[in-house]
Chain A
Amino acid sequence: MSDPEAKFGRDPHVLLRVIAKFLIPLIALFAFYVQFHGDYGPGGGFQAGVILAASVILYALIFGLTEAKKAFPPRLIRYGMTLGVVLYGGTGVVNFILGGEFLNYSNLASDPAAGQHYGILAVELGVLITVTTVMIAIFYAFGSRQPETSNEDW
C-alpha cells in the first residue's frame, strides 16, 4: 500500500480509523459479554466467537490485511483452531479420567452443579477460540486472494 499521507497530504480515512479504533474494543468487549452471558441466557461461544472475529475483520478492513496479519499472525490463528478443539475435547477427556461419561461435567467439582458450571465455561472457551480463529482464517483466505483496494479506488 502506498503511503496515503505522502499522496494526499493527510490520511484520507482519518474518520474511519478514529471511529473504528473507538469501536473495535467495544465490539470485543461485547463479544466477551455474550460469551459469559451464555451461561445464564442467550449467547455462548459460537456467537461470541463470531463477534470477536468481526472486530478483527473490521480492523483488517480499515487498516489493511497486512496490518491485521501483523497483529494476528496466521500462524497463531492455525494454532488457535487446534487449541479450541483440544480445550473442548480435553474437557471430555478429563471427565473420562475422573470416571464419568464423555463431557459429563458433574465430576469436575465436588458439587455437581458447580462441576457443570466449570465444564461449560471450559467448553465455551474452546468454542470461542475455535470459532474466532476459523472466522479470521476464512477472512484471511478470501482476503489474500486478490490485491487490496488501492486508495485511489475508494
Chain B
Amino acid sequence: MSFLDLVPDWLLIHGPAFLMALPLIMAAITAILPNKRVAWTSTFIVTAILTLTAFSIALYNVEVGTTLYKMGGWAPPHGISLVIDALNAPVIVLIAVMSLLTVVYALPATVAEIRPNKRAPFYAAFLLCTAGLLGMVVTGDAFNVFVFLEVSSISTYVLVAMGAARDRRALSAAYNYLILGSIGATFFVIGVGFLYMETGTLNMADMARILADLDGGSRVAKVAFGFIIIGLGLKLAMFPLHTWLPGAYAYAPTPVTTFLASTATKAALYLLLRFTFFVFDPSYAYVADILMFILVGLGVIGMVFASLQAIFQTDVRRMLAFSSVAQVGYMLLGIGIATTASVAAGYLHLINHAIIKGGLFLALGAMWYRFGITRMEDFRGLGQTMPLTMGAFTVSGLSLIGVPFTAGFISKLNLTVAAADAGWLWAVGVIMVSSILALIYIGRVLLLAYFQSPPKVNGVEVARNEAPIAMLIPMWFLALSSIFIGIKSDAVVGAATRAAEFLLGAG
C-alpha cells in the first residue's frame, strides 16, 4: 500500500472524527466568510481533504479490518463510538467524492442560481449537509445517527429552498420535504427509543448483541423495527413514501439536486442495511417477513410504477427524479432477497446509481446553465449544440438503462443472477420490464437530442454553446467512472461483496 505510506498515521487513527469535525467547524466559519470566491475556495479545500481522508480510511479498512474510534475517550457502550467497517467505508468515499465534484461544479452553477448574498450561506449549508451525511455513516451509536440525520436533513431543506431564486416552486417543494422528512426522522427516533427501551443501550453493536441474546426481542423490538423501517423509508424515498422527492429534486439548485440524488438517499439506504442486517438480523421472523413482503413488495411496485410515471413526465428533472425512485426499488429488491449475493448486488447498485444519477443531473444542470431548459421538447438538437454535455448524459443514461460495459449493467446483472439463484424468477422478469421502461424514458431524450435539429431563434439555428470546463470535468469524471466500472468492476464489486459478507457472512 504505497498510498497509505504517504498518509500520516494520525489521519488513519483519528480520521473518523476528523471526517465529521472538519466540515462541521468549517461550515460555521464559511457562514461568515465574504461572499465572493473565498467561500468557494475554502469549501473546495475542505472537500478535497475529506476525499483524501475518506480514501485513506477506506484503504486502511481493507488492510486492518473494522476499526473503532472512542469519541472523547469514552469507551462504548457508554460513550459514542465511531466505527469504520466494510459496510460504511465505501459509502464514506462515495459521499466525500460526490461532495468534491459538486463543489467543483457549483463554482459556475451558483453564479447562475444563487443570489450573491446567499452564496456563502449556501456553501455553509452544503458543508453542514456533508458533515451530517458523513456523521450518520461513521457513527456506531443509534441516537447519534438521528442527530446527524437531522443535521443533514435540516441543511438539505435550506439548500432545496435556495432554488427559489430560480423557481419559486422550490419553496413549496422544500416545505413538503421538511414536513415529510421531519416525520421520517421522528419515526426513526421513536424506533430508536423503543430499541433503547428493549435493550437499554444505544450502541448499535451492543444492541445487536442484546437482541440476539433475547432471540429477537419482545413486541417492543418489533414495533421499533417497524418505526425504523418507515422512518428510513421516508428518507430513502421507498415507493409510496417518495412524494417529497420529485419536487425537491426538480426545483433545488442543480448542484444540490446532484448531491442529494447521489448521497442523501444512499446514506439512508446504508442505514437501512445497517439496521436490518446488523442491529436486527434476518433470522428473526419479523425481520424476514418485512424484508420479504414490505421491502421486496414495495421495491418491485416502485420499480415498475415509478418508471411508468417517469415516462409521462414533461420535465426532464422530474423524469430523472421518478427514475431515482424506481432505482431505489432495485436496491430494495436486492436487500429484500437477503442472500449474500443479492445484498452485494443491492449495495453495488447503491454505489453505481449514485455515480450514474450524479452524472445525469450534472449534465442536466449544465443544459439549464447554458440554455435555461428543463422541458423535454427543448432538448431538440442538443447533440449538436452541446455535444460534450449531451455525450456525458448519453453515457450515464445508457448506464442507467443497463447497456453492457457500463456500471448499470454490472449491478443489474449481479442483481438478476442473485435473484435467479435464490429462485425468484419473477423478480428477474420485473428487472427486465423496468429496464425496458428506463430505455423508453431515456430513449425519448436521446431521440430528441440527436435526431432533431436545434430550434430556430429568429430564423437562425441555435449555435453550439458548450458548458464551462468546471461543469464538464465532474460530469465526464462520473460518466467515465461509469464506463470504467462497467469494464473493470473488480474494485467496486469487491467492496460490495465485502460489505455483504460483513453483514451476512460468506456464502
A and B co-occur in one complex: yes
**A62 at interface, CB cutoff 8 A:** no
Contact string against A for B residues 27-54, beta-carbon threshold 8 Å, 1 for contact and 0 otherwise: 1110110000000000000000000000
For A21, list chain B residues within 8 Å (CB).
none
Interface size on B, residues (CB 8 A): 16
**B507 at interface, CB cutoff 8 A:** no
Interface-forming stretch among B68-76, B270-278, B488-496? B68-76
B32 adjacent to A104 (CB under 8 Å)? no
- Which 3 residue pairs spanning A and B have beta carbons closest together? A104-B73, A85-B28, A102-B17
**A17 at interface, CB cutoff 8 A:** no
A102 adjacent to B72 (CB under 8 Å)? yes
Question: Min CB distance, B293 to chain A, in Å?
Answer: 42
**B21 at interface, CB cutoff 8 A:** yes
For B485, list chain A residues within 8 Å (CB).
none
**B252 at interface, CB cutoff 8 A:** no
Contact of B72 (CB < 8 Å), options: A81, A82, A85, A105: A105
Contact string against A for B residues 6-35, beta-carbon threshold 8 Å, 1 for contact and 0 otherwise: 000000001001100100110111011000
A89 adjacent to B32 (CB under 8 Å)? no
> Which residue, of B27, B71, B72, has the highest number of chain A Cβ atoms within 10 A?
B72
Given the known interface contacts A89-B21, A90-B25, the answer about A79 and B32 at a Cβ–Cβ threshold of 8 Å is yes
Closest B residue, CB atoms, query A105: B72
Which chain A residues numbered 32 to 60 have a C-beta less than 8 Å away from chain B?
Answer: none
Given the known interface contacts A102-B71, A102-B72, A104-B72, the answer about A82 and B17 at a Cβ–Cβ threshold of 8 Å is no
**A13 at interface, CB cutoff 8 A:** no
For A96, list chain B residues within 8 Å (CB).
14, 17-18
For A104, list chain B residues within 8 Å (CB).
70, 72-73
Contact string against B for A residues 75-108, beta-carbon threshold 8 Å, 1 for contact and 0 otherwise: 0001101100110011011001000111111100
> Which residue, of A90, A92, A102, A106, has the highest number of chain B Cβ atoms within 10 A?
A102
Q: Considering the chains assembled together, what is the distance between the CA atoms of A100 and B14 in angstroms?
A: 9
* Sampled A-B contacts (7; CB under 8 Å): A82-B29, A85-B28, A92-B21, A93-B21, A96-B18, A102-B18, A103-B71
Interface size on A, residues (CB 8 A): 18
> Which residue, of B17, B24, B69, has the highest number of chain A Cβ atoms within 10 A?
B17
A101 adjacent to B28 (CB under 8 Å)? no
Question: Min CB distance, B129 to chain A, in Å?
Answer: 15
Question: Min CB distance, B352 to chain A, in Å?
Answer: 33
Closest B residue, CB atoms, query A96: B14
Q: Footprint of B on A, CB under 8 Å?
A: 78-79, 81-82, 85-86, 89-90, 92-93, 96, 100-106
A103 adjacent to B29 (CB under 8 Å)? no
A89 adjacent to B14 (CB under 8 Å)? no
For B69, list chain A residues within 8 Å (CB).
101
Q: Considering the chains assembled together, what is the distance between the CA atoms of A106 and B74 in angstroms?
A: 11
Closest B residue, CB atoms, query A102: B17
Question: Min CB distance, B122 to chain A, in Å?
Answer: 15
Contact of A86 (CB < 8 Å), options: B14, B28, B71, B72: B28
Q: Considering the chains assembled together, what is the distance between the CA atoms of A81 and B21 in angstroms?
A: 17
Question: Min CB distance, B137 to chain A, in Å?
Answer: 16
B14 adjacent to A102 (CB under 8 Å)? yes
A102 adjacent to B21 (CB under 8 Å)? yes
B32 adjacent to A100 (CB under 8 Å)? no
Q: Considering the chains assembled together, what is the distance between the CA atoms of A93 and B14 in angstroms?
A: 11
Q: Considering the chains assembled together, what is the distance between the CA atoms of A102 and B138 in angstroms?
A: 14
For A86, list chain B residues within 8 Å (CB).
25, 28-29
For B21, list chain A residues within 8 Å (CB).
89, 92-93, 102
B17 adjacent to A89 (CB under 8 Å)? no
Which chain B residues numbered 66 to 94 have a C-beta less than 8 Å away from chain A?
Answer: 69-73
Contact of B28 (CB < 8 Å), options: A82, A102, A105, A106: A82
A101 adjacent to B73 (CB under 8 Å)? yes
Closest B residue, CB atoms, query A103: B72
For A103, list chain B residues within 8 Å (CB).
71-72
B71 adjacent to A101 (CB under 8 Å)? yes
A89 adjacent to B28 (CB under 8 Å)? yes
For A92, list chain B residues within 8 Å (CB).
17, 21
B28 adjacent to A81 (CB under 8 Å)? yes
Closest B residue, CB atoms, query A85: B28
For B31, list chain A residues within 8 Å (CB).
78, 81-82
Closest A residue, CB atoms, query B14: A96
For B70, list chain A residues within 8 Å (CB).
101, 104
For B73, list chain A residues within 8 Å (CB).
100-101, 104, 106
For A102, list chain B residues within 8 Å (CB).
14, 17-18, 21, 71-72
Closest A residue, CB atoms, query B74: A104
A85 adjacent to B14 (CB under 8 Å)? no
Q: Considering the chains assembled together, what is the distance between the CA atoms of A102 and B25 in angstroms?
A: 13
B17 adjacent to A85 (CB under 8 Å)? no
Question: Min CB distance, A131 to chain B, in Å?
Answer: 14
Question: Min CB distance, A46 to chain B, in Å?
Answer: 14
Q: Considering the chains assembled together, what is the distance between the CA atoms of A79 and B29 in angstroms?
A: 9
